[in-house]
Chain A
């Protein structure tokens, strides 16, 4: 094996197990060095497959470099680095190590050339992310992490069933484009199951609720890590496996509006942002469903920019939570006065997610809407434009307004610690830098791109769209009064209905079980009574004199003797 290469993500996973062994400076250095080393490795490997392992007669390729995979791996390692700076002093060691296992496995997924190693790292991601939620250390976080794990184990089982069916039918483990078809062959069944497995991790309906349920229960830094990897890895796998599948367009558009409506109803600041992850991933999945080179470039670029600005928003919200201990919009407000840096960087993130001109969202999301227009998807295009206004409504204004402005809550927390602010400023800088100078990002996209986002028409229309969306927000503010409520979602089915049914069933079962036991005990009891009362005079226990037994035995033997002579 002349060109042996180590899968970069594995370095981060292994490093996570070394970190707890170190102390003080050495640990700090390694913490910051690991993601940078991974980033360097990602870019030092040329395109193509570098390692081949034999496993049960299948060829595993855990270090396959593709342009799409490299783009995702780049932003994943960048995210791990900035996330580590943000979490540096405040997070527990367990959280940081779990986050590195999680990030490392996500990077490994983007380097997996076969579906078996993809599946292994896919499951490792579920474990790493569960531990990240868990390490918040609260009872609510523990329960949420268990619900989260169950959804992902379900997704994992479905994915694995799909992998088995596909490998059995085709004999190939290669991770490549997988077409859906309506026939009932093993291959199409496998492909459909794999698609469902991917979609569960993307937050697609009906199981979208896990994102808003679990992510906001993690620690301030934990939520930042969580927002980046699972859903975007799913977008990556959908791009490779199912680009151009029409059903993805409908799923994506549904997710876009689901995210907006639920975020509008929500009161918890980090849950607003969690719903908005579903909204943003919906844009990407719609683009994957459109499937042209421009659309796929759009999905990849949008994922890249999204990870940065969503992390920025959640870091801003996390700093507020860390400084005040308050997570509900109804109790926040007026924080811009004492946390101006957190407010400004948070607003940069809010402008970026809204695709405001001169931010990263503007130069990336417009690729997706343009792709919809070029392909003649009229309804999809109008939906995307309406939703772009809606993004400004639910994330772009709602989040900063209710947290930093609104009424004066009287809270006067000091600014967040220095390391948190550094992380905020770096990502805020990147949001604007990519927006002003998108060429380096465009250059590493999967396909050649010839696109100019800054035309007069595009600038003017985008300004109009967003400013009038902002006007709608303030004009309709009375309709959006914060209430101390949550919104029912599909998780109601398993948290209330199924749980209730289970509990009802078990009480019923317990009743029947009890009745049955009582009845059987009564039977045994009466039998014993019967035996004990009637046994001495009963036919079975009447005593026979041994002499009569001997007599009868002799008689039988005699008869036998007689018969044997006849």
Chain B
């Protein structure tokens, strides 16, 4: 049962590695947006430090959102997605595999590059560790929820802008908890509650969103 899923995962990763600029653009966007904030609000280190959790999280969230359109659109255009409907494996699992591949390509690099940006914004090492943990738990949620929006806008004109309107309100809880975790450590409290809730949210999203995404894919390919 897992062999087709592994094949799909390998295929998606291979495709991404053959065209690395796609994944790099997302990371580049993340870095540039974070770099623009000090230009907008001034270079005061203490002030930047207090804004850092929110800035990093909002930038990560926008970067993931921008990459969502590519999650299904290539497969939709060349007809691969339609073939996936015919595969005996449940569509929910196939979709989950594609989301996992998408996260490996876009979400994980954001987590890995985030310490560099956090240092620029004067976060301390222990806070950076929490930031990475929060992003590690949070970016999969962003990919999972975002996949629903990506599926619902398949083949629509102006789908990219529409995804933003559909998905960004749903990103509020991970944003609050993720940025809140770093904030808690900065104010000397424990981030455990935030991280636990974030983990719970990831498990729930892992369980529930692939079904919704699969239903959306079926509807849009109907």
Q: Do A and B come from one complex?
A: no
Chain B contacts to A: CB under 8 angstroms: none
